[in-house]
A and B are shown apart, each in its own frame.
Chain A
Amino acid sequence: MLLSLSGISRRFPGVVANDDVSMNVAEGEIHALIGENGAGKSTLVKIVYGLVKPDSGSMKIDGEHYAPLGPTEARAAGIGMVFQHFSLFDALTVTDNIALGMDNPPPMRKLSVRTRELSKNYGLPLDSGKIAGALSAGERQRVEIVKCLLQNPRILIMDEPTSVLTPQETKTLFKTLRKLAESGVAILYISHKLKEIRALCDRATILRGGRNVGSCVPSEASIGDMAEMMVGSSLKSPVKKSRNRGKVVLEVDNLCSDADSAFGIALKQVSFKVGAGEILGIGGVAGNGQEELLAALSGETKVESNTIRLKNEPIGHLDPDARRILGLLAAPADRMGHAAAPNMTLVDNAVLTGNRRERLSSRGFINWDASSQFCQRIINAFDVRTPGTWNTAGSLSGGNLQKFVIGREILQKPDILAVNQPTWGVDAAAAAAIRQALIDLARNGSAVICISQDLDELIEISDRFGTLNRGELSDIRKTESLSTSEIGLMMGGAHGVDVAHAPA
């Protein structure tokens, strides 16, 4: 065995992150480490990488005792790690970043030559002179991978590598990983996306509550089985009942907007209608105008007043607070810093959007009792796991904060709710809860617009479905009537395939 862990335990104040975990990783194996958010996956690999010291237990590499004092020693022992939140320095160039990740880097000129060779061999194109801050998520990840590969690692740890990637980038990444595994590198792959694991990994170890609760061969196990092992109980998938579309609540007519930044996408004549009690799903690869559409709907960017009509009243010129009063609520994609202020408490965050509709203030003073009750209601209704209402939003795990952010809007009983990527980077159980909440909201007569790049999610919950490609919205079709290949074709426009010329 290349790497073996036995009896690893690690406690943090109030939490047992790892409890007597043992596992083995063989050479050339892609080994998945799966579990819900907070199951102890990240802590375990941090122990392997020398960032966290275990309270007890031991590790071996090639049968030899291995106890790193820090990342430097871990790298010397042949372990490389690509972090979940990339550890790049935005203001430095790609080459600088790569040099920083090495213990004894060659002179800069040689380094860029080696970087170029390596990125060619593994199909990881890089522009070494670029500033890291200007790179896309996929490019940033490539830098991280190249940084690790330059040190010829024997074990490569990938922490949630696909959570920020588009499907295309994910495909490229998988190709690279398979190539690496063929050359004998062991890959420890952390994820909670079971589909990806089935497609990629040779073996999987499942963690729950910090314990190793079993292992399986992903290609032979069903997704349902693995999900059950992760969650510990059978997973409830959302129940969808066909609903009748009520009166049109929101009408978007010929909505155009300029790209807000150099990398933004302009919306081109987007038109659609949403009725009461209906979920409209808008699919497509992120970065095709999704952010811009949500901003136009929420009121973050103002548009011509008549292009958006709420119950026949033009609202395009109104700011978000005015739209909230009228019943249009929104939850943007980026929960940290956009949907919620990470350094403020949950109560503060509840007041920030709930102020008007829940009447949380009067004469300019905030009513803290009412606010904290409102916050507590969100926590109870959406099973947000937090020690209390006065904890900061940033202290919550991604899934919990997402439940809070969505719950905060749903409890305000919107006439129409627009959400963008509601289950991005959220574990299976929380994602199911959020989807169910959206379905329930629609069943109670609200209209819902769900923008997501997760196709399965949209097929599961939406009544009608359209895709957004380079700022243009496709025809909107009834979801039931669509076959998978048709949906693929609708998505196609995003990858440069001209839909009109595709065979019908």
Chain B
Amino acid sequence: MTDLFSINIVVLLASLISASTPILLAATGELVAERAGVLNLGVEGMMITGAACGFIVSVHTGSPAIGFIAAAAGGTAMSALFALLTQCALANHVASGLALTLFGLGLSALLGQGYVGVKPPPTGNLELPILSDLPVLGPALFSQDIVSYLALALVIAVWLALARSRSGLILRAVGENHNAAHALGYRVVRVRVLAILFGGGCAGLGGAYISLIRVPQWTDGMTAGAGWIALAIVVFSSWKAGRVLLGAWLFGGITVLQLNLQAAGIAIPVEYLSMSPYLITILVLVILSADNSNAPASLGRIFHAPR
């Protein structure tokens, strides 16, 4: 029986933010890497490794905070491997990224053996004083877990840094034309390695958000393609931070909505509902990116310092 009125808007909005946080984190990290000219297809691998590291450490320490730090460290370590391959050994970005994803999936399954069915320590919600007392908006937007707020702050910080700061300008310059940046005396490899590590840390956090807050438990391959959708969001958002946020919310929102529709027993086959977030997010972003979607010109190209 269909009962659309059973869907509570407040709960829907609240869970929208929580559903979009993992992709938002991963996509923001990847955005920075791609703006520096690095195409890291290993987002999924870094996320799942972060998810496993975060889960294990927080189970042993009993602290979700330390778990998240460990997750960021795990993701960063994976990305360091990618940086070593692509920036020092000058390996192909696409091949290295795919290898990183496969490696991450395997490594996390190995690490996670024996943690299936274990409950992680809960992460409390951060009720913002006054704001969380607002009717409707209060419970929907202002009583989330702290990581969701951090993710939001991170997107804004990245947007500001890319658009306004000198380091952001240098990063964009490196991604745009690495030869010219080198000729001007900027350290192309250093900028890129830092961008890769930042991307890895963000992906790790995103992964841990799934295993510690959203699900929260450990199963193999639990990121279930979130890393890939983060990659797609970066591309279809035309490498703009604001649109990354929009894409992540859209994806999170439709994911939550379709789950609610399933629960409400609407007469659409479950398979269609399940694929709808992917389809609609990509579709909307494709339409948006039709204006002028210029990829960073050096994206995925290997930089070999002329000597």
Binding site for B on A (CB under 8 A): 50-52, 70-72, 75, 83, 87-92, 96, 99-101, 105
Contacts and interface: CB of A to CB of B under 8 A. Distances in A.
B297 A100 contact: no
B170 to A, nearest CB: 7
Contacts of B185: 50, 70-72, 75
B180 A99 contact: no
Contacts of A52: 307
**Which range contains the number of B residues in contact with the other chain?**
10 to 19
18 contacts: A50-B185, A52-B307, A70-B185, A71-B183, A75-B185, A83-B183, A87-B180, A88-B180, A89-B172, A89-B181, A90-B177, A91-B294, A92-B172, A92-B173, A100-B170, A100-B181, A100-B186, A105-B166
Of A50, A52, A70, A75, most buried by chain B (CB within 10 Å of CB) is A70
B169 A99 contact: yes
A101 B184 contact: yes
A400 B179 CA distance: 23
Interface in B176-194: 176-177, 179-181, 183-186
A472 B180 CA distance: 38
Nearest to B170: A100
Contacts of B181: 89, 100
Given A88-B180, A91-B176, 17 more contacts: A50-B185, A51-B183, A52-B307, A70-B185, A71-B184, A75-B185, A87-B179, A88-B177, A89-B173, A89-B176, A90-B297, A91-B297, A99-B169, A100-B170, A100-B184, A100-B186, A105-B166
B177 A87 contact: yes
Contacts of B296: 91
B183 A90 contact: no
A92 B307 contact: no
Contacts of A75: 185
A100 B172 CA distance: 10
A69 to B, nearest CB: 10
Of A70, A89, A101, most buried by chain B (CB within 10 Å of CB) is A89
A70 B190 CA distance: 15
A96 B186 CA distance: 15
Nearest to B186: A100
A88 B173 CA distance: 9
Interface in B14-60: none
9 closest A-B pairs by CB: A87-B180, A71-B185, A89-B176, A72-B185, A87-B183, A70-B185, A89-B177, A89-B173, A91-B176
Nearest to A53: B307
Contact of B169 (A50, A83, A88, A96): A96
Contact of A90 (B169, B170, B176): B176
Nearest to B239: A91
B270 to A, nearest CB: 44
A99 B186 CA distance: 13
A99 B166 contact: yes
B176 A87 contact: no
Interface string B244-273: 000000000000000000000000000000
Nearest to A68: B185
A405 B297 CA distance: 28
A99 B294 CA distance: 22
A352 to B, nearest CB: 24
A105 B170 CA distance: 12
Contacts of B166: 99, 105
A87 B178 CA distance: 10
Interface in B137-173: 166, 169-170, 172-173
Contacts of A105: 166
B299 to A, nearest CB: 11
Interface string B184-222: 111000000000000000000000000000000000000
A99 B172 CA distance: 13
A52 B297 CA distance: 25
A466 to B, nearest CB: 39
A367 B82 CA distance: 42
B184 A87 contact: yes
